[in-house]
């Protein structure tokens, strides 16, 4: 039987690793379900979701030239038209925070979506620099929407501060200011 991309098949879990699970499809053909393709939510340990000899429905997502077959359990689930899988939730501090709901903060990093957070690159409704009013080029706080020029000047200022901070930290680790490397 030829395995085609997009086909939904049933298989038996024959092996579990830290990066996914091997599934025997039929006739000795085995494919890999990567850990990111097991469930819609975050999977820390494959063993929390699958056990050896479990029978699972999988969707073939790719077939390499060398015969490796990529499978997905989460894409094999039939969802009604227009519905989306549940959004992943991340921890409260830092990191990449996207669409965590209204008012969801986050301590830095790249924040996108409602709520923004306290620092880092913030995009979306409510995404500001920790609730401070935006200062325009004239130096006066602007409580309205900042202009493009204000955003660029703020970005440049933040970038320069971060670069100088990085330079200070790396110089200290290298021996700093004229010290010779051995």
pLDDT value at position 117?
47
Q: How far is CA 118 from CA 15, 33, 41, 160, 177, in A?
A: 43, 37, 25, 19, 33
Within a domain: residue 121?
Answer: yes
- Asked if residue 70 lies in contact with residue 6, where contact means CB atoms within 8 angstroms, the answer is no
Segments forming the whole domain that contains residue 152: 135-172
> Starting from the edge strand earliest in sequence, which strands make up the sheet with 96-98, in order?
96-98, 110-112, 121-123
Chain position carrying tokens 């975050």: 42
Domain match, 58 and 102 both: no
- pLDDT tens-digit profile of 49-63? 999 999 999 999 999
Shared-domain flag, residues 68 and 19:
yes
Is residue 3 a part of any domain in this protein? no
State residue 23's pLDDT score: 94
Q: Which residues in the chain come in under a pLDDT of 70?
A: 1, 80-144, 172-182
- pLDDT value at residue 164: 87
Indicate the SS3 state at residue 30.
strand
Please report whether residue 42 resides in a domain. Answer: yes
Q: Could you tell me if 22 and 45 lie in one domain? A: yes
Answer yes or no: do 16 and 57 share one domain: yes
**Helix, strand or coil, per DSSP, at residue 33:** strand
39 and 68 in a single domain? The answer is yes
Does residue 26 share a domain with residue 67? Answer: yes
**What is the rounded CA–CA span in Å between residue 31 and residue 5?**
12
Whole-angstrom distance, CA of residue 130 vs CA of residue 101: 16
Is 2 within a domain? Answer: no
Which pLDDT score is estimated for 139?
A: 59
How many independent structural domains does the chain possess? 3
179 within some domain: no
What is the value of pTM for the model shown?
0.46
């Amino acid at each position: 039987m030829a395995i085609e991309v997009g086909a939904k098949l049933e298989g038996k879990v024959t092996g579990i690793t830290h990066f996914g699970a091997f599934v025997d499809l039929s006739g000795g053909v085995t494919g890999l379900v990567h850990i990111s393709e097991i469930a819609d939510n975050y999977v820390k340990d494959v063993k929390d979701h699958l056990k050896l000899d479990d029978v699972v429905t999988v969707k073939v997502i790719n077939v390499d030239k060398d015969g490796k077959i990529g499978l997905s359990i989460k894409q094999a689930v039939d969802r009604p038209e227009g519905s989306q899988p549940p959004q992943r939730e991340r921890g409260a501090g830092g990191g990449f925070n996207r669409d965590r709901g209204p008012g969801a903060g986050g301590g830095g990093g790249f924040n996108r979506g409602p709520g923004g957070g306290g620092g880092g690159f913030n995009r979306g409704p409510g995404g500001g620099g920790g609730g401070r009013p935006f200062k325009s080029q004239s130096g006066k706080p602007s409580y309205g929407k900042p202009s493009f020029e204000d955003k660029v000047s703020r970005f440049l200022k933040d970038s320069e501060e971060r670069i100088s901070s990085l330079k200070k930290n790396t110089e200290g680790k290298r021996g700093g200011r004229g010290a010779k490397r051995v």
